[in-house]
């Protein structure tokens, strides 16, 4: 059954968050490339030599803003992990005073997403942009996972939430998460925009995630009621 139309919209988000927010580099310390590059080499060394194809499994912002070119994409299912807004965002789409949330993969359940096949001529150079994007804030752990697709399973790199990070929020209720998403805004824009674009991408792909669908309705309700303000 097709999901109902979204309650959340970019127009509603823009009306609730009309002002820009300056970047605060002190809000989140980012790892430099000289630290990230050896970690990527170590991750590639753990990739089985028998694997065919270089794949990345996307479940959040990579669905609508991939950090790479790709030669193939397949809808896929990852078992043992579920998509959840469980990682606080104190920079980019939030501030230390009003942190937003971004998605992570947390333990249990299943997650539907997209497996992207990348050029594997130079795996390090190909993966470095997405590795930098996901790993520089120390909120994620990279892992090779088995993704089921209609054309057969593939082994893909994906990013689990780092439970040891001080950004890991644990399992809050959808209402608590919606409160933070509705009010948070950073120099890249509102946290609600990240949510909207992810739900929109999932809907376009035929992926209906109850957590995302519940949150977009709750956030829309809060924005309409004026329970949000940047800064």
**Cα–Cα distance measured from residue 182 to residue 106, given in angstroms and rounded to the nearest whole number:** 22
Three-state helix/strand/coil letters over 122-134: CHHHHHHHHHHHH
With CA atoms as reference, report the closest residue to 25 among 137, 110, 112, 161.
137
**Cα–Cα distance measured from residue 86 to residue 68, given in angstroms and rounded to the nearest whole number:** 25
* Residue from 67, 134, 141, 175 carrying the catalytic annotation: 134
Active site includes 148? Answer: no
Cβ neighbours of residue 89 closer than 8 Å, sequence gap 6 or more:
99, 100, 101, 102, 167, 184, 186, 191
**Cα–Cα distance measured from residue 83 to residue 111, given in angstroms and rounded to the nearest whole number:** 6
- Residue 84 corresponds to which tokens in the numbers above? 């959840």
Give 57's strand partners.
Answer: 115
Dihedral, CA atoms, 175, 180, 182, 184, nearest 10 degrees? -170
- Residue 157 corresponds to which tokens in the numbers above? 């790199």
Q: Which residues are known to be catalytic?
A: 134
């Amino acid at each position: 059954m097709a999901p109902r139309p979204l309650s959340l919209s970019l127009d509603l988000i823009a009306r609730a968050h009309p002002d820009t927010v300056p970047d605060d580099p002190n809000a989140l310390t980012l790892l430099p490339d000289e630290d990230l590059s050896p970690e990527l080499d170590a991750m590639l060394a753990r990739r089985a030599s028998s694997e065919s194809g270089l794949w990345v499994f996307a479940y959040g912002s990579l669905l609508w803003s991939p950090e790479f070119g790709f030669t193939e994409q397949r809808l896929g299912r990852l078992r043992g992990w579920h998509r959840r807004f469980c990682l606080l965002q104190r920079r980019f789409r939030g501030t230390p005073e009003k942190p937003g949330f971004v998605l992570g993969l947390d333990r249990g359940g299943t997650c539907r997403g997209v497996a992207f096949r990348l050029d594997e001529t130079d795996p390090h150079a190909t993966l470095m942009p997405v590795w930098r994007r996901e790993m520089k804030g120390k909120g994620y752990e990279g892992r090779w996972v088995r993704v089921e697709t209609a054309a057969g399973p593939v082994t893909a790199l994906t990013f689990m939430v780092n439970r040891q990070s001080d950004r890991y929020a644990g399992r809050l209720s959808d209402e608590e998460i919606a409160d933070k998403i509705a009010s948070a805004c950073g120099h890249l824009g509102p946290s609600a925009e990240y949510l909207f674009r992810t739900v929109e991408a999932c809907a376009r792909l035929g992926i209906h995630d109850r957590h995302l669908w519940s949150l977009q309705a709750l956030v829309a309700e809060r924005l309409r009621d004026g329970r949000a303000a940047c800064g």
